[in-house]
Amino acid sequence: MWQLYQFPLCPFSRKLRLLLSEKGVGYELWRESPWEGRDAFLNMNPAGRTPVLRDEDKDITLVDSRAICEYFEETVEKNPMISGSAASRAEIRRLVALFDENFYGDVTGPLLHERMKKRLVYRQSPDSKNLREAMKLAHEHLYYIDYLIDQRPWLAGATISLADLAAAAQISVADYLGGLDWSGHDQARSWYSVIKSRPSFRPLLAERMEVIQPPTHYGDVDG
C-alpha cells in the first residue's frame, strides 16, 4: 500500500490525492509537517517538501508532485489525465505549471505563510498587506479561469485533465484560507463547483487543519 506523507493544506499533495482517487489507486495518509525537518522524512526527500509517496513492500519512494503524477499517468491506464495529441498534452502541462508555480507563488504560498505557518510555526500575526496582495493576485488568476472556461468545458480542453486537478487543488487551499472572493467570477465558480462535486474531492473538503477553520462556504458543493 502506498503511504502519502502530507499535511491537509498542502496543495501539491491535494493535486496528487485527486489524481490517485480518479485513477482508483489506494493509499494511506501519513501526516508530515515538512517545516519540522524530521530526519526520516529528509532521508526520503532531501528537499524536505511534501508530497512524498512510499511503498515499503516494493521499496519505492516517489518525490515531487509532478514526477509522481506522471508516474501514475504512465503506469495506470484508468482515467488518463494527460491525454490527446502532443499539442493537447503540452497545453495540459503548461496549465499544470501555471497553477503549480504562478498560482502557488502569487496566492497559495503567501496565504499558507501568513495564515498557517505564522500561526502554527512562528507564532506571529499575519501581515495584512501581504494578504491583500495575495487576494488581489487571486482575482487575476480567477479572471484567467473565467476566460478559459468561456472557450472550453475544462481548463485544457474538452475533457477533464491534470490541469483541472492542479488548479482545483490550489484553489481549494486558497479558499480554505479565506483568500478568494468569488464575486464576478461566474465561469470559474461554476467550473469549480463541478470539480468540487466529484467523489475524488469529497475527502479533501471534509478535512480540517488543526486550529485553522475554513469559511462556511468552503465545503458547500453548490457554492
Binding site for ligand GSH (CB under 6 A): 10-12, 34-35, 48-51, 64-66, 100
Closest CB to ligand GSH among residues 110, 185: 110
Closest CB to ligand GSH among residues 21, 108: 108
Distance CA 81, CA 37 (A): 32
Distance CA 38, CA 5 (A): 12
In the sheet with 60-63, reading across from the earlier edge strand, the strands are: 27-31, 2-6, 52-55, 60-63
Closest CB to ligand GSH among residues 175, 185: 175
Position 169: which residue type?
A
Closest contact distance (angstroms) between CB of 151 and ligand GSH is 27
Closest contact distance (angstroms) between CB of 150 and ligand GSH is 28
Closest CB to ligand GSH among residues 62, 149: 62
Distance CA 51, CA 14 (A): 9
Closest contact distance (angstroms) between CB of 50 and ligand GSH is 4
Closest CB to ligand GSH among residues 90, 121: 121
Distance CA 71, CA 162 (A): 13
Closest contact distance (angstroms) between CB of 6 and ligand GSH is 8
Distance CA 69, CA 189 (A): 25
Closest contact distance (angstroms) between CB of 25 and ligand GSH is 17
Distance CA 29, CA 10 (A): 13
Distance CA 15, CA 10 (A): 9
Distance CA 154, CA 40 (A): 40
